[in-house]
Amino acid sequence: MKIHVTARDIRNGIPNTTQKCPIARAIRRRVLWRKNVIVGASARISTKYYILPPIAKKFIKKFDNTREGEPFQFELKRLAHP
């Protein structure tokens, strides 16, 4: 699933949160806001877990520390087992 983190996601995202960070906002928009989304070491959409690629993990670390980041996109792949 292709995820696009936009400037708006970054501007409205909240650092150090699992449900309101820019990546969670972008995933929620992609699944049409119907599902519970939690982002941490991996991403969880409802009861399914997904692998966060290194670019997303690097973004989270920078955003949580500086509240800065540039728009980017990444592929979210489902984990076989949580």
CA distance 80 to 19: 22
Residues 10-26: tens digit of each pLDDT: 999 999 999 999 999 99
Unique residue bearing structure tokens 């520390």? 65
User: Where are the domains positioned within the chain?
Assistant: 2-78
Instruction: Identify the pLDDT of residue 4.
Output: 97
Residues 32-78: tens digit of each pLDDT: 766 788 888 888 888 889 999 999 999 999 999 999 999 999 999 98
